[in-house]
Amino acid sequence: MARSVVPVNGTLRWPGTIAVGLALVFLFGPLIAVLWRAEGLASLSRADLSAVWFTIWQAAVSAVVSIGLAIPVARALARRQFRGRQVLVTLLGAPFLLPVIVAILGLLAVFGRAGIVNSFLGALGLPDVSIYGAHGVIIAHVFFNLPLAVRLILQGWVAIPSERFRLAAGLNAPIWRVLERPMLASVVPGTFVVIFLICLTSFAVALTLGGGPRATTIELAIYQAFRLSFDLAGAATLTLVQIAICAVVALLAFAITALDAMGRGLDRVVARWDGSVWGDFAWITAAALFLLLPLVMVILRGLPSILELPSSVWVAALRSVMIAMVSAGLTVALALALALRGGWLVVVVGTLPLAFSGLVLGAGLFLIVFPFVNPSNVALPVTALVNSLMALPFVMRALVPSVAQVEAQYGQLADGLGLRGWARLRIVLLPRLRRPLGFSAGVAAALSMGDLGVITLFATGDRATLPLEMYRLMGAYQMQAAASSALVLLGLSLGLFWICDRGWRIDADA
C-alpha cells in the first residue's frame, strides 16, 4: 500500500479526491456525532486496559500465524497446476466470507467437545482436546484469515512475470532470493495490517472460543459501554483507542514495506520447476482440510431442510443479493478512484475502516440521520454504503499494487503515446486490472452478504437481510431452518464471489 503514495500519472485525480472525502465523512462524521452527544471522552477502567492488551496480543499472534501458514500454501498453489485448482482457490476463500456465527458452529462441529476431532480421539481411546481458550481464539482467527492471506500473497506470486522466472532459470539464480523474497517483503506487511485489524475488532469469535471474560476484546468493551450503561463517552473513547492502535500498526508496517517494480512481462502463466511436488501437495491438502471441513459440516447441517425454508428467507436473500451488488459496484468505483489518485490520504482511507467499531459507526449514523428521516427508511442504502467502506481495506490491498505495477510497466509507454485521462484508463489500465477488479467486486459482494453490520440498529422491520433473518430464526428456536439459511447464505456469498472473480477476468491462471 505504500506504493499508493505515488500517484498515477496522467489519469483523473478528482474522483479519488471525492472518494476520500466521502469515506472520511462517513467514518468520522458518526464518531463525532457520538462524541458530541456524549459531551466528551471517558477514562479507561482497569478492565478496559486488560481488554486492550488482550486485543493487541491476540490480533498480533493471529496475524503472524495466518501469514506464516499462508506463505507455503500460496507458494504451493502458485507453482502447481492441477485439475480443480480454480475451484479449490475459490472454496478456500469461503471462511472469510462466512457470517461469524455460522463459522463458529462449523468450527465447533470439527473441533468442539462433540466434534469430529474429539470423536476420533475418543475412538482411539485418547483424551479430549478442548478448543476453548487463547489457542481457540487463534485457531478461529486463522480459519477466518488464512484464506485472505493466501489470496493476497498468491496475487503477489502470480504478479511476478513468468519472463523473470525464465530469466532466473537461465541464469541459474536462486528464485527465492531474487524474486520471491522481494515480492513477499512488499506484500506481507500490508497483509499483516489487514489481518491484524480484522482480529482487532473481533468480538463474538474471541469471546465464544476464548471461553469467557479472559477473552474480552475492545469491541466487547464498547458493546458493554453502549448496552449495559449507555455510556457513549466510553464507547467513543474505546473506538479512539482502536483507531490509535490501527494507526501505529499501519505506520510500522508501511515503514518496512519494500517497493517492487523491476520490469515488464507479457502476462503469461508461469510453469515452475522448483520445489518438492509432494511438499506442495501436503500444504495444499492440510489447508484444504482445515478450511473446508467446517464448511462441509455447515453444508451437511443445512442441507436436510433447505427446501422447507419459509418464503421470507428467500425474499431476504434476494434483498441481500441486491444490497451486495450495489455495494460491490460502489466499492469497485471507490477503490479504483482511490487507487488512481494515490497519496497518503488514500492509505488512510484504505486502512482505517477496519478500526471502526460497527456499533459506534451505526450509533453515530443513527444520531445523524434521525433528526431528518426515519432511520428504518434509509436502512438499506446506509447498509450498502457502510458495507462498501468496510470492504475498501481488502479491496485496496488487491488493487493498489496492481495499479502501481501496470503504471510501472506501461506508464512510460502510455506517456510516450500521450494517453491521458479516460483514454488511458480504458486502454491501458482497465484491461490489465480485470483480475484485481473482479476479485475486489467479489470480495465486496460476499462481505456485504454476510454482514449484519449497522442494520440491527436501524431496525428494518419487514425489510430484513438474510443474516438478520437467520438470527431471527435462531431467536425463534428454529435452529434447523437457521442452519439451512446459513447454507443459502454460504452458497450465495460464494456464488457472487465466483461470478465476479471469474467473470471479470481475461485469463484463468489464478
Binding site for other proteins (CB under 8 A): 47, 101, 104-105, 108-109, 112-114, 132, 203-204, 207-214, 216, 220, 223-224, 226-228, 230, 310, 312, 363, 366-367, 370-371, 374, 376, 456-457, 459, 461, 464, 468, 471-479, 482
Which one, 86 or 456, has the nearer CB to other proteins? 456
Residue 115 Cβ vs other proteins, minimum distance, rounded to whole Å: 8
Q: Distance (Å, rounded) from C-alpha 301 to C-alpha 293? A: 12
Query: What's the number of CA atoms in the CB half-sphere (13 Å) around residue 399?
Result: 33
Residue 189 Cβ vs other proteins, minimum distance, rounded to whole Å: 32
CA dist 203 to 51, 100, 277, Å? 11, 10, 39
Which one, 101 or 328, has the nearer CB to other proteins? 101
Asked whether the beta carbons of 444 and 388 are under 8 A apart, the reply is yes
Closest alpha carbon to 327 in 436, 464, 448, 440: 448
Residue 408 Cβ vs other proteins, minimum distance, rounded to whole Å: 46
Q: Where are the alpha helices (DSSP H) in 218-343?
A: 218-228, 232-255, 277-302, 311-341
Which one, 347 or 489, has the nearer CB to other proteins? 489
Which one, 153 or 369, has the nearer CB to other proteins? 369
Asked whether the beta carbons of 106 and 297 are under 8 A apart, the reply is yes
Which one, 139 or 464, has the nearer CB to other proteins? 464
Residue 337 Cβ vs other proteins, minimum distance, rounded to whole Å: 33
Q: Distance (Å, rounded) from C-alpha 152 to C-alpha 70? A: 9
Asked whether the beta carbons of 182 and 159 are under 8 A apart, the reply is no
Which one, 175 or 293, has the nearer CB to other proteins? 293
Q: Distance (Å, rounded) from C-alpha 394 to C-alpha 444? A: 8
Residue 160 Cβ vs other proteins, minimum distance, rounded to whole Å: 43
Which one, 232 or 443, has the nearer CB to other proteins? 232
Residue 361 Cβ vs other proteins, minimum distance, rounded to whole Å: 13
What cell does 138 get?
487463534
Residue 287 Cβ vs other proteins, minimum distance, rounded to whole Å: 25
Q: Which residues contact 252 (CB under 8 A, 6 or more apart)?
A: none
**Backbone angles phi and psi of 203, in degrees to 5:** -145, -60
